[in-house]
Structure 1
Amino acid sequence: MKSILVLGSFLLISSLLFYCTNPPTDWSQETEITKWPDGKNGAISITYDDGIINQFTIAKPIMDSLSLPATFFIITGKVEGSGKGKFIGRDPKTIIAETATIKTDSSNFFERASLIAFTGTTEAEDYHAKVGSLFEAGKVAGAYQLLDEGYEKIRNGRMKNTNAVVFHNNSVDTTSWEQYKSYEAQGHEISSHTVTHPKLAVLDEANMRYELEQSKADLAKFMGEDATFSAEGPYGTENERVMEYAYKVYPALRNRMPEDWLDEINRGSKKQPGTTDKEYVQWQRGALSNTGIDQMKAWTDTVNAHDNIWLVLVIHGVENYGWEPLKTEELKQYFGDVKENEDVVWVATFGDVTKYLRERKGTTIHAELEGNEINITLSSDLDASVYDITLTLKTYLPEGWASVSLQQSGRRTPLDLKSDASGKYVQYSISSAKSGFQLVKGN
């Protein structure tokens, strides 16, 4: 019995002496989350606005044939079973009557601009859009005057139907929620473009909230919570008031991402993405009918020429239907070019790229080298039920490690050793929800 106790004491003392003379080494600085998944050079997100039928019958099959995902920002009020567009507020007849004696000013502008699109004609909807454009351009007096003109026509029965294509009242766009659900299952992202595609900047609070919140509610009901992550305010608005409301409803907006580590270049900007000093740049480009395939391919070349560019391509019409339509052959050529670059460019939905970047920036790495193991723990304050994108990690190895396995959840996976100017390393993928795992030295 005494010999057993002596032996036990000896082993314990030996272990303590070994630990004291060989304490774990902080290895946190030797491990990083790569800027892009799998060590790629940049990212491309192909996005579509308005839920136009040709996007799904022409463009989507081309992307599917190449296994390329897309984000579709849809106008939910067009989909059968959804909440439809409506005016929320006082009796419209009362508001219209008041316009005969009270000019439009700051006290009544948002109410009147919210109502006019729902007074019964396509010309009235066009007035709403033009009033919104003037307002966002800072031409407020002109917006007031145009609104007064529109209501004068309404009062005198001179407002007419122009037979123009109205996005939220178009019988051609018949995609169902069942179809959208199947598209999501195929790897595409279905997201909000509001209920009726209004000029959000000129809506009053009640009507703006309805456009944002009802669209989200229908996406959650028919698609599930994953579809409520991303949104795009119509017309690419960056109005401050709209952004304040919209970010209370949706975690990610293509309109704007207020991250201090990301520079945004919107569709109308001529700024070159290579001039930014931010860690990332979201570079939005709108592919129009006259853009041309050479210009579109040049955008991909620009992504390849840097290591921090996220190209967000915006497409509307397809094959003679919708705003600024692209031809089928153009789409085939461009998507083929994107596919050819997939070995160095990450092609992913708008939501997935947003999640990866935020997870990378919001995750803390703690790693310790202890004997033949590197123990690594990831921690983050982000909601793991939302931010669930797999992260790519890169860990530099101690001298003498000739083979390495990743050990997680009781399983070991051999890893390939790579090297660069800083030494040997391994690159591997980990779910952001995994709290701890090990890199184990081989025999």
Structure 2
Amino acid sequence: MNTLSSLGIFFAVLLLTISCTNQTKDWSAQTEITKWPESKNGAISITYDDGIINQFTIAKPIMDSLNLPATFFIITGKVEGSGKGKFIGRDPKTIISETSTIKTDSTNFFERASLIAFTGTTEAEEYHANVGSLYEAGRIAEAYELLDEGYEKIRNSRMRNTDDVVFHNNPVDTTSWEQYKSYAEQGHEISSHTVTHPKLAVLDEVNMRYELEQSKADLAKFMGEESTFSAEGPYGTENERVMEYAYKIYPALRNRMPEDWLEEINRGSKSQPGNTKKEYVQWQRGALSNSGIDQMKSWTDTVKAHDNIWLVLVIHGVEDYGWEPLTTGELKEYFGYIKENKDSLWIATFGDVTKYLRERKATKISAELDANEIRITLTSDLNPNIYDIPLTLKTYLPEGWKDVSLMQKEGNSPLEVLSDSKGNYVHYSISPAETSAQLVRMD
């Protein structure tokens, strides 16, 4: 073979190699999962505690009229057919008798604090709650003394001793599991607020586990597994011992979410969410009787002014029933204001926002450009049967692409080509169960 022929073959191979190299190109750096679905500016979750009847007869219809979803943390022991509140342990009469000669201390505190709410009357439940508040505030000796005072009243019949179970701020509830099921089908989240709304931090292990596990079991039985994702320990507890147990039972707690990429600002904190350096901030605000519409609207405005805030609203009473109730007029005006901002803010349940954030942080993107097609692949260790919120992806396009479609199992979807300072791009959604898709140039 002469020299010219050899050179010809060499250059032919080289051109073929270059052509093949240009055919497939790693495009992963040109694709990202947006911080919020549809590239919105932030998120708001509207949550309710205690399962108060007015939440469903007054607040929910207002939200339904505006197509706004909510998360209802319900006290499951009040719902007909579910496991009821009870004390698990030694004979209560024996424990009550011992309080006459043995003062409360670290060796018997949790057992006695667990029992007292089940000795009857609202006053006994209030002793349990107040003892718990002292304990969580670090005022241990005062908690012991108050518990001794409560049992002294019980022994001397100054508090009626019955088998009745008194529920925190909500003795009457007519909502059925069938109704709760229908609410979930309408897009609302029904989640656990324990069986009886106790101060979990002062329960002994067996009674704490019952409150958490029985509530979850009834939600799974009557509502389905999707209602066992989120929970809220009563009184917003952040007690370390409670969190250790609760984390093992529920994937998400409104009380605390210890992800290293999330800063939490609880309801009692005066910290401002705009000061955080973390990627996300969960900003909880209690919407109370004295909050006022202007302040509540300012919370929404703050979310709009940043790109990393998740506002979690906490509502209890409605109209004339429950703790710190909001009026019907306040709910209509505030929810209407939230609705006005729905184009820039993602309004979603507590569980759905939690899932999206975790999915985004846990998902890796692989993308390849091959001629007129970009192949997208997502990989994650999360269970797609639980973490099932579609992710919004943003992919920058090669120069000259003007007409693009998304190809998935269910079919072909034309996409709008948008632009910013970095170039032309498209937005699209992929379900975690889908794992792959193709962007196809159609022009």
Structure 1 residues 169-194: Cα deviation after superposition (integer angstroms, max 9, x where no partner):
95532100000000000000000000
In structure 2, distance between residues paired with 1:38 and 1:224:
29
Q: Report the CA distance shift for 1:212/1:442 in structure 2 as closer, same or farther (over 3 A).
A: same
Which residue of 2 is the match for residue 107 of structure 1?
107
Q: How does 1:114-153 map to 2 (within 5 A)?
A: 114-153=114-153
Amino acid at match of 2:66: L
The alignment status of 1:348 with 2:348, answered yes or no, reads yes
In structure 2, distance between residues paired with 1:338 and 1:89:
48
Per the TM alignment, residue 413 of structure 1 is displaced from its structure 2 partner at its CA by: 1.3
Which residue of 2 is the match for residue 248 of structure 1?
248
The alignment status of 1:284 with 2:281, answered yes or no, reads no
Which residue of 2 is the match for residue 364 of structure 1?
364
Which residue of 2 is the match for residue 35 of structure 1?
35
Which residue of 2 is the match for residue 397 of structure 1?
397
User: Is the CA contact (8 Å cut-off) linking 1:212 and 1:246 kept in structure 2?
Assistant: yes
SS at match of 1:419: strand
The alignment status of 1:89 with 2:89, answered yes or no, reads yes
Which residue of 2 is the match for residue 298 of structure 1?
298
Amino acid at match of 2:241: R
User: Is the CA contact (8 Å cut-off) linking 1:355 and 1:389 kept in structure 2?
Assistant: yes
Amino acid at match of 1:220: A
Which residue of 1 is the match for residue 412 of structure 2?
412
In structure 1, distance between residues paired with 2:169 and 2:330:
28
Q: Report the CA distance shift for 1:37/1:410 in structure 2 as closer, same or farther (over 3 A).
A: closer
User: Is the CA contact (8 Å cut-off) linking 2:170 and 2:322 kept in structure 1?
Assistant: no
In structure 1, distance between residues paired with 2:88 and 2:121:
18
User: Is the CA contact (8 Å cut-off) linking 2:136 and 2:201 kept in structure 1?
Assistant: yes
SS at match of 2:355: helix
Q: How does 1:209-358 map to 2 (within 5 A)?
A: 209-358=209-358
Amino acid at match of 2:123: E
Amino acid at match of 1:215: S
Structure 1 residues 13-36: Cα deviation after superposition (integer angstroms, max 9, x where no partner):
999746644252111111001000
SS at match of 1:110: helix
SS at match of 2:47: strand
In structure 2, distance between residues paired with 1:147 and 1:411:
65
What is the Cα-based RMSD across aligned positions, in Å?
A: 1.6
User: Is the CA contact (8 Å cut-off) linking 2:50 and 2:170 kept in structure 1?
Assistant: no
SS at match of 1:377: strand
Unaligned runs of 5+ in 1: 1-12
TM-score (norm 1): 0.94
In structure 1, distance between residues paired with 2:190 and 2:122:
27
Amino acid at match of 1:143: A
User: Is the CA contact (8 Å cut-off) linking 2:118 and 2:166 kept in structure 1?
Assistant: no
Which residue of 2 is the match for residue 51 of structure 1?
51
Which residue of 2 is the match for residue 69 of structure 1?
69
TM-score (norm 2): 0.94
In structure 1, distance between residues paired with 2:177 and 2:102:
44
Per the TM alignment, residue 120 of structure 1 is displaced from its structure 2 partner at its CA by: 1.8
User: Is the CA contact (8 Å cut-off) linking 2:120 and 2:166 kept in structure 1?
Assistant: no
SS at match of 1:256: coil
Q: Percent identity at matched positions?
A: 80
SS at match of 1:183: helix
In structure 2, distance between residues paired with 1:123 and 1:21:
78
Amino acid at match of 1:301: D
Structure 1 residues 360-379: Cα deviation after superposition (integer angstroms, max 9, x where no partner):
00100001111111111000
Amino acid at match of 1:99: T
Amino acid at match of 2:56: F
In structure 2, distance between residues paired with 1:297 and 1:170:
29
In structure 1, distance between residues paired with 2:238 and 2:138:
13
The alignment status of 1:378 with 2:409, answered yes or no, reads no
In structure 1, distance between residues paired with 2:42 and 2:166:
37
SS at match of 1:394: strand
In structure 2, distance between residues paired with 1:264 and 1:45:
14
Query: What is the total number of aligned residue pairs between the two structures?
Result: 428
